[in-house]
Amino acid sequence: MAHNIHFNENNGKHSFFSVKQKAWHGLGQILDDHPTSAEAIQQAGLDYTVEKVPLYTGAGPERIALTGSTDDSVLIQVPNFFASVRTDSCKPLGVVGKDYQIVQNQDAFTFFDAIAQAEGIRYETAGALGDGERIFITAKMPGEIRVGKDDLIERYIFLTNSHDGSGSITAAFTPIRIVCQNTLNAALDNKSSVVRIRHTSGAQQRLAQAHSIMGLASRRSEQSEAVFNRWAKVRISDPELKKLIAMAMAPNHETLGNLRDGSVELLSSQFLNTVEDVYEYALTSPSQNLPTTAGTVFGAYNAVTGYYQNVRNFKTDEDKVKSLYLGGTAQLRGQSAFNFCEHFANGALILN
C-alpha cells in the first residue's frame, strides 16, 4: 500500500508520530512516551494554520464579457466561495463556502485536553494526510475490554478533521483488538456511536462540548465486553462460517438475495474470491486460533473486520482511514458482520 502521509518540505519530516511503535511505513517520528497536546501537534507536523482566501476567475470569454478587457491581470472574485489555504506553505487544500468555519488543528486537540487529565487519556498517534487537508488523532483510554481469559481489546477515541470542505469533525469510540490490531468499531444499537460537528458557526464551541463521547465510550465498552464474551461461547461450524462471511460481504441486496436462494452461479467471481480470502483468513490467521475466536461467532466477526485491517490492500493510507473509520466499505461490511453475528448468536439466523 502506498502511503499518503504529508511530507513537509520546510522541515524535511513526514507529518506523523506514533508512541513506542513503528510508524506507518517507517515514516514519521516514534516517541518513547505519550506527548502533551502541544508536543503531539509539533511531532505530528500539525503546527500549521489554515485560512479562507477569496477565489478569482482566470482568463476566459466570461471575464471579457464582464469587464470588456482582455488584460490577464483583471480578475473577478467568485462570490460566496473561498479557498482553504495553509498559511505556512500557501498550498490550497480545498474550496469551501462562505459559512464554512475553519477549526484549526490546535482547536481539534481541545476535545481531548478538556478531559485528558481527569480521564487518563493519552495521545497515541496523530498525523496529516495529503497536503494537510485531513488530520487524524487517536487517543488511548485507560482500561481494556477483556474477552475470555486473555483476549484483550484496547479502548481508543479516534478524531478526524478536514480542511477541504469534505466532511465534518468526527469523534468516535474505537476498540482495537490487541493481538492483531483489529478495529472493532461497529455500532451496538440504533443510537449513534459518533459525534459529528459541522464546520459552521459555533463549531469550536460544540467541539469543546464533545467530551460527551466519554460517557458514550464507557457505555460502548460495557456493551462490547458483554456482547463479545457471549459470542465467544457460541459455536459456528465451518460451512456456517463461510455462509455468514458471504452474507456480511454482500455489496447489495441482489447479491444477498442470490446467496439466500443458493444461486451461486449468479455471483461474480470477484465477490466469490473475496469471500474465499476472508474465509482463509478466518481459518489460518494466528489471531483466529485463540479459544475466543476458533470456531466461534466472535471469530466470525473478527474474520471480516480483520480482513480489512490486516489483509486487504488499499491504494493509500487515506483510503484505508476512510474505509475503516469514515463510513467506507470496511466499516459497512464490519457493521453488516456484527448484525449477522448477533442474529446468529440469538438463534434468529439459520445458516444451512
- Determine the Cα angle at 186 with ends 180 and 188, to 5°: 130
- Residues 180 and 293 both lie in one domain: no
Q: Could you give the CA distance from residue 18 to residue 3 in angstroms, rounded to a whole number?
A: 15
Closest CA to 287 of 152, 141, 174, 143: 152
- Residues 253 and 329 both lie in one domain: yes
Residue 58 lies in a domain: no
The answer to whether 15 and 44 are in contact (CB under 8 A) is yes
For residues 21 and 47, the model is more confident at: 47
| Count of beta carbons in the 10 Å neighbourhood of residue 187 | 17
Share of the chain above pLDDT 70, in %: 82
Q: Could you give the CA distance from residue 294 to residue 235 in angstroms, rounded to a whole number?
A: 9
Residue 149 lies in a domain: yes
Q: Could you give the CA distance from residue 317 to residue 319 in angstroms, rounded to a whole number?
A: 5
Q: Could you give the CA distance from residue 129 to residue 44 in angstroms, rounded to a whole number?
A: 11
- Residues 237 and 153 both lie in one domain: no
Domain boundary among 207, 228, 249: 228
User: Which of helix, strand or coil describes residue 195?
Assistant: strand
Q: How many residues does the chain have?
A: 352
The HSE-up count of residue 5 (CA atoms within 13 Å, CB side) is 23
- Residues 250 and 275 both lie in one domain: yes
Domain boundary among 166, 198, 228: 228
**Residue 1 pLDDT grade (very low, low, confident, very high; cuts 50, 70, 90):** very low
Residue 249 lies in a domain: yes
- pLDDT at position 226: 96
- pLDDT at position 2: 46
- DSSP strand pairing (50-56 vs 29-31): unpaired
The answer to whether 261 and 150 are in contact (CB under 8 A) is no
User: Which of helix, strand or coil describes residue 272?
Assistant: helix
Q: Which residue has the cell 449513534?
A: 192
The stretch 306-325 carries a mean pLDDT of: 86
Q: Which residue has the cell 470588456?
A: 68
- pLDDT at position 172: 83
- Residues 163 and 238 both lie in one domain: no
- Residues 207 and 111 both lie in one domain: yes
What tens digit of pLDDT does each residue of 141-197 get?
899 999 999 999 999 888 888 999 888 788 888 899 988 888 898 877 655 667 777
Residue 78 lies in a domain: no
What tens digit of pLDDT does each residue of 43-86 get?
888 999 999 999 887 655 555 555 555 555 567 788 899 999 99
**Least confident segment among 103-117, 153-167, 303-317:** 103-117
Given 3-state DSSP classes, what are the helix, strand and coil percentages for the chain, each rounded to the nearest 5? Answer: 40, 25, 35
Domain boundary among 158, 193, 228: 228
Residue 299 domain boundaries: 233-345
- pLDDT at position 26: 44
Q: Which residues pair with 139 in a beta bridge?
A: 123, 157
Residue 60 lies in a domain: no
- Residues 244 and 292 both lie in one domain: yes
- pLDDT at position 23: 45
Q: Report residue 151: phi and psi, to 5°.
A: -95, 105
Residue 285 lies in a domain: yes
Q: Which residue has the cell 462460517?
A: 241
Query: How many domains, the chain?
Result: 2
What tens digit of pLDDT does each residue of 318-347 get?
788 788 887 899 999 999 999 999 999 999
Residue 277 has pLDDT above 90, yes or no: yes
Residue 24 lies in a domain: yes
Residue 86 lies in a domain: no
- Residues 267 and 307 both lie in one domain: yes
- Residues 219 and 311 both lie in one domain: no
As a whole number, the mean pLDDT across the chain is: 84
- Residues 18 and 111 both lie in one domain: yes
- Residues 199 and 270 both lie in one domain: no
- pLDDT at position 32: 76
N-terminal to C-terminal alpha carbon distance within the chain: 37
**Least confident segment among 19-33, 188-202, 207-221, 334-348:** 19-33
Q: Which residue has the cell 438475495?
A: 257
- pLDDT at position 71: 58
- Residues 22 and 121 both lie in one domain: yes
